[in-house]
Amino acid sequence: MSQRPILVFDVNETLLDLDSLAPFFTRIFDDPAAMREWFAQLVLYSQTLSLTGIESDFAQLAAGVLRMQGRIRGRDITDADVADLSAAMGSMPAHPDAAEALQQLQKAGFRMVTLTNSPKGDGPSALDRSGLATFFEASFSVQPSGRFKPAPQTYRLVCDALQVEPHDLCLVACHVWDTIGLQAMGGKGALVTHGVNAPLHVPGVPIPDLVAPDLAHLAQDIVRTWG
């Protein structure tokens, strides 16, 4: 058995159900697939800003990408639409198996924190509203680093706060670009696919140490491997 890592959970889509935003995009664009298009563009431009050294707020970027998507699709995006999207993002529910999976990991003695691109607000976060926040000893936003994941500065922020090195951490995410980010620094990666993602097989690119279809199975694999 290898050393038990500290588990660093991504939040949006990994713990919280991104598909809950689909009705909003269906209303705006008459196309539920528009949600995935918007999210892909949001990730693309967050990484673009990180690479170019331009700082921004993830919530503002989400709104800007929505307005851009509206212009591309010939739909007028109003301030009310932006507010509705913000409210929907702030109230995304947890995946049905999330609480049980986290409880299993907590019972097995794993330290757990979160790391999200979303900024911290004054009120309760989506993680708070979902009821999952109590499972974690700390919740980190990338915002102080001035970069978005998978920039190395974002993971280093967690390392510095916990006084550990990247090899002491395992990034748990629904996104391979996120697991690659920490694995490239010497950490571990655990991918939950949720039926919408898969590992990336390219020579020289780190493959997640663990891959599972849902959080329940991933928790079992984590306990079996490092517990």
pLDDT in tens, 202-225: 999 999 999 999 999 999 999 999
Structural domain boundaries, residue 106:
6-17+93-226
Q: What local confidence, expressed as pLDDT, does residue 130 receive?
A: 95
Rounded mean pLDDT, 105-125: 93
Same domain, 11 and 24: no
User: Of 60, 89, 118, which one is at a domain's C-terminal end?
Assistant: 89
Full-model pTM: 0.96
User: Of 48, 65, 89, which one is at a domain's C-terminal end?
Assistant: 89
Rounded mean pLDDT, 88-109: 97
Q: Give 57's pLDDT tier (boundaries 50, 70, 90).
A: very high
Q: What is the DSSP string of 15-82?
A: TB-GGGGHHHHHHHHS-TTHHHHHHHHHHHHHHHHHHHT----HHHHHHHHHHHHHHHHT-PPPHHHH
* Domains contained in the chain, number: 2
